[in-house]
Amino acid sequence: MTAFDYTSMAATAESMIERFGRDASLIQVSRTPADASNRQRGNVTTETSTSVKAVILNPRSATGLGFSAQQIESLIRNSQMVAIVAGTGLGATLKGWKYNRFEDGAEVWGIVRVDTLKPGDTILLYFFTVKAKR
Protein backbone atom coordinates (compact mmCIF):
# COMPACT_ATOMS: atom_id res chain seq x y z
CA MET A 1 0.00 0.00 0.00
CA THR A 2 1.43 3.38 -0.97
CA ALA A 3 1.29 6.34 1.35
CA PHE A 4 -0.98 9.26 0.47
CA ASP A 5 0.87 12.39 -0.66
CA TYR A 6 -0.49 15.41 1.22
CA THR A 7 1.71 17.91 -0.62
CA SER A 8 -1.13 19.27 -2.77
CA MET A 9 -3.39 19.64 0.30
CA ALA A 10 -0.66 21.59 2.08
CA ALA A 11 -0.24 23.84 -0.96
CA THR A 12 -4.00 24.44 -1.11
CA ALA A 13 -4.16 25.30 2.61
CA GLU A 14 -1.27 27.72 2.23
CA SER A 15 -2.82 29.32 -0.87
CA MET A 16 -6.20 29.82 0.81
CA ILE A 17 -4.71 31.33 3.95
CA GLU A 18 -2.43 33.54 1.85
CA ARG A 19 -5.44 34.73 -0.14
CA PHE A 20 -7.99 35.20 2.66
CA GLY A 21 -5.80 35.60 5.73
CA ARG A 22 -4.35 38.72 7.22
CA ASP A 23 -0.86 39.71 8.22
CA ALA A 24 0.11 38.69 11.73
CA SER A 25 3.21 37.96 13.77
CA LEU A 26 4.22 35.18 16.12
CA ILE A 27 6.43 36.58 18.87
CA GLN A 28 8.99 34.63 20.87
CA VAL A 29 10.12 36.27 24.10
CA SER A 30 13.46 35.11 25.50
CA ARG A 31 15.05 36.08 28.77
CA THR A 32 18.72 35.63 29.45
CA PRO A 33 20.73 36.78 32.48
CA ALA A 34 22.30 40.22 32.03
CA ASP A 35 25.38 38.84 33.77
CA ALA A 36 25.81 35.06 33.68
CA SER A 37 28.08 35.15 36.74
CA ASN A 38 25.61 37.18 38.81
CA ARG A 39 21.94 36.36 38.15
CA GLN A 40 20.79 39.03 40.61
CA ARG A 41 21.54 41.71 38.03
CA GLY A 42 18.34 40.87 36.17
CA ASN A 43 17.50 39.60 32.74
CA VAL A 44 17.76 40.91 29.22
CA THR A 45 14.55 40.37 27.27
CA THR A 46 14.69 39.89 23.52
CA GLU A 47 11.80 39.39 21.14
CA THR A 48 11.95 37.51 17.87
CA SER A 49 9.11 37.99 15.40
CA THR A 50 7.98 35.60 12.65
CA SER A 51 5.61 37.07 10.04
CA VAL A 52 2.69 34.84 9.05
CA LYS A 53 -0.66 35.01 7.30
CA ALA A 54 -3.49 33.85 9.54
CA VAL A 55 -7.23 33.37 9.56
CA ILE A 56 -8.91 34.26 12.85
CA LEU A 57 -12.00 32.25 13.71
CA ASN A 58 -14.74 32.80 16.17
CA PRO A 59 -14.91 29.61 18.28
CA ARG A 60 -18.45 28.88 17.09
CA SER A 61 -17.02 28.41 13.58
CA ALA A 62 -14.64 25.67 14.72
CA THR A 63 -17.08 22.76 14.63
CA GLY A 64 -16.15 21.97 11.03
CA LEU A 65 -12.51 21.75 12.06
CA GLY A 66 -13.05 18.84 14.40
CA PHE A 67 -13.38 20.75 17.65
CA SER A 68 -15.86 19.10 19.98
CA ALA A 69 -18.82 20.99 21.44
CA GLN A 70 -17.10 20.84 24.83
CA GLN A 71 -13.90 22.37 23.42
CA ILE A 72 -15.86 25.13 21.70
CA GLU A 73 -17.79 25.96 24.88
CA SER A 74 -14.48 26.14 26.75
CA LEU A 75 -13.10 28.56 24.14
CA ILE A 76 -16.19 30.75 24.41
CA ARG A 77 -16.22 30.65 28.22
CA ASN A 78 -12.57 31.72 28.34
CA SER A 79 -12.93 34.46 25.67
CA GLN A 80 -10.56 32.68 23.35
CA MET A 81 -10.28 32.63 19.56
CA VAL A 82 -8.59 30.29 17.09
CA ALA A 83 -5.92 31.54 14.68
CA ILE A 84 -5.13 29.22 11.79
CA VAL A 85 -1.69 29.36 10.15
CA ALA A 86 -0.51 27.23 7.23
CA GLY A 87 1.98 24.60 8.30
CA THR A 88 4.21 24.85 5.26
CA GLY A 89 5.81 28.15 6.23
CA LEU A 90 6.57 27.33 9.85
CA GLY A 91 7.51 23.69 9.50
CA ALA A 92 9.47 22.36 12.43
CA THR A 93 10.00 25.82 13.94
CA LEU A 94 7.09 25.20 16.31
CA LYS A 95 8.88 22.30 17.96
CA GLY A 96 9.29 23.12 21.58
CA TRP A 97 6.36 25.53 21.62
CA LYS A 98 8.54 28.57 21.22
CA TYR A 99 6.03 31.38 20.63
CA ASN A 100 4.47 33.44 23.43
CA ARG A 101 2.32 36.01 21.62
CA PHE A 102 0.26 36.35 18.48
CA GLU A 103 -0.11 39.90 17.12
CA ASP A 104 -2.73 40.83 14.57
CA GLY A 105 -2.36 44.50 13.77
CA ALA A 106 -3.23 46.38 16.96
CA GLU A 107 -4.53 43.22 18.68
CA VAL A 108 -2.15 41.37 21.00
CA TRP A 109 -3.07 37.81 21.91
CA GLY A 110 -1.43 35.44 24.35
CA ILE A 111 -0.95 31.93 22.97
CA VAL A 112 -2.76 29.44 25.17
CA ARG A 113 -2.33 26.29 23.12
CA VAL A 114 -1.05 25.05 19.75
CA ASP A 115 -2.61 22.13 17.89
CA THR A 116 -1.40 20.67 14.62
CA LEU A 117 -3.28 19.10 11.74
CA LYS A 118 -0.65 16.64 10.57
CA PRO A 119 -1.74 13.61 8.60
CA GLY A 120 1.32 11.44 8.12
CA ASP A 121 4.51 13.51 7.97
CA THR A 122 2.96 16.62 6.39
CA ILE A 123 1.94 19.55 8.56
CA LEU A 124 -1.14 21.12 6.97
CA LEU A 125 -2.25 23.66 9.58
CA TYR A 126 -1.43 25.03 13.00
CA PHE A 127 -4.34 26.01 15.23
CA PHE A 128 -3.36 28.61 17.81
CA THR A 129 -5.80 29.04 20.66
CA VAL A 130 -5.29 32.68 21.61
CA LYS A 131 -6.68 34.98 24.25
CA ALA A 132 -6.67 38.76 24.09
CA LYS A 133 -4.19 40.41 26.44
CA ARG A 134 -5.78 43.26 28.31
Contact 88, 7 (CB under 8 A): no
Question: Does a structural domain hold residue 1?
Answer: no
Q: What digits encode the pLDDT tens for the residues 5-61?
A: 888 888 888 899 889 998 999 888 887 776 667 666 667 788 888 888 888 887 777
Nearest Cα residue to 110 out of 26, 34, 54, 12: 26
Q: Residue 64 belongs to a domain with what CATH number?
A: 2.40.10
AA letter at 23: D
Instruction: Give the structural domain span for 100.
Output: 7-132
Question: Does a structural domain hold residue 107?
Answer: yes
pTM: 0.76
Q: Measured between alpha carbons, how far is 82 from 6 in angstroms, rounded to an integer?
A: 23
Cβ neighbors of 97 (< 8 A, separation 6 or more) are 114
Give me the number of domains the chain comprises: 1
CA end-to-end span of the chain: 52
